[in-house]
Each structure stands twice: as C-alpha cells, then as structure tokens.
Amino acid sequence: MAPRPDVSEQRRTEIVDAAARVFSRKGFGARMEDIVRESGLSKGLLYWYFKSKDAIIVAIMDRLIGPELRGAEVLPAEPGSARQRILGLAEQTIREIRAMERFIPITYEFYTLAFRNRVVRRAIKGFFGRFIDGIQGVIQQGIDRGEFRAVDARAAAVCLIASFEGTLLLWIFDPDSVQMEAQVRQAATLFLDGIVDPAGGSPGGHRRGTRKKGASS
C-alpha cells in the first residue's frame, strides 16, 4: 500500500494565504473565524496548525520577508566581490518587492502591530537581526580584502537596510515621484561608492597595490 502523501505543508500554505487575504481586507483586527471561512477548512484543523492568530501573523511575515532574508544570510558564502554581491542583493530586493507587491500594506501593519504585540516585535527584531548579520558579513569581507574602507561593518549594514526600507516607504506613498527599482539600485551604488577604498579596492573587487597598514587580514 502506497504511503499517504504529507499534506501538512500544503495545509499551512493554504492557511497562510487565506489569512493574508483576510488581513489585507480587514487588517489585523480580523478574527480566527474570518480565516476559517476564507480558507474553507475547519476551525479544529486551523488550530491544529496554528495555535493563535499571532502564530499566523509570524508565518505571514516569514512568507513576505523570508526569501529576501535568506538571500541576505547566504550572501557571505556567495561568489564574487563584496560590491557585486551587494548589488545582487539590491536586485533580489526589487524582485521580492514586485512579487509580493499586493501584500506590502500588510508589511507596514506589522510594524504598527509590533508596538503593542511582543510576539510580532520579537519576530521583526529577529528578522532584521539576521538580515543585518548577512550584510555585515559581506561588508566585513570587503574590508578584509581591501575593497572597502575600515568602516564599522554593522553600522554600514544598518545604513544599507535603512535606505532600502526608506525607499520602499516613499514609493508606497508617492509611486509617481519615486521610481522604486531605480532608487533601490541608486541607493546601493551610492552606499558602495561611499565605503569603497580608493587606495586598496576597485569596483570589481580586485585590489590595487598593497593593503593599508592596520587593515584586517
């Protein structure tokens, strides 16, 4: 007798998709009963996979933020110069924004909700912490290889993320004036031009001459 297929992941996806649609229409004030009706599943089955509305909200956050986050986490292990990888991250950010464009309003509701919900606040803090760690790792590699100046790698990572987040926010409020794709690319380029080491690194990541005295190895 053939083994029964595991449908648990499919069910979780159905619930998360249904919840995202409900929250898009009603905001996070929607009830679990609303998600039950939207998903077409039983209330018992819904609670089998998610014990609370907070758990569903965190799962939606992972759906929206997860691909970009995991791309940032593996960035230090990817090939290419630090500059090339950060520019690649900008392109990935653009793709993810476009893929999840209809759910962007929910993303910003997460931030509002985080002020009064410790579960959501902890989740967002964890997401951004992992995002910063990945970008920090690439920047530190650029410093160690002589591509970048000896800046504070973590502070620089925060600046880059802030520029992406700020661009997204401005685009949401004024899409006619802010060209999201061009602005994200420009933000990454200006950031990189600001930390490049003119004496030790080139845009392609190949060192020119000897590393400055005192630089990391």
pLDDT, position 203: 45
Q: What share of the chain in percent tops pLDDT 70? A: 88
Instruction: Give the tens place of pLDDT for each residue, 11-67.
Output: 888 999 899 889 888 888 889 999 999 999 889 989 999 998 999 988 988 887 777
Q: How far is residue 53's CA from residue 31's CA, in Å, rounded to a whole number? A: 8
Burial 154-187 (b: 16+ CB within 10 A, else e): eebbbbbbebbeebbeebeeeeeeeebbebbbeb
pLDDT, position 8: 81
pTM as predicted: 0.77
Residue 98: band (very low, low, confident or very high) from pLDDT cuts 50, 70, 90: confident
Q: Any alpha helices (H) in the chain, and if so which ranges?
A: 8-26, 32-39, 43-49, 53-73, 82-99, 104-114, 118-144, 153-173, 180-195
| 12 residue type, one letter | R
Q: Which domains are present in the chain?
A: 1-51 (1.10.10.60), 64-195 (1.10.357.10)
pLDDT, position 68: 77
Instruction: Give the tens place of pLDDT for each residue, 183-199.
Output: 999 999 999 999 998 87
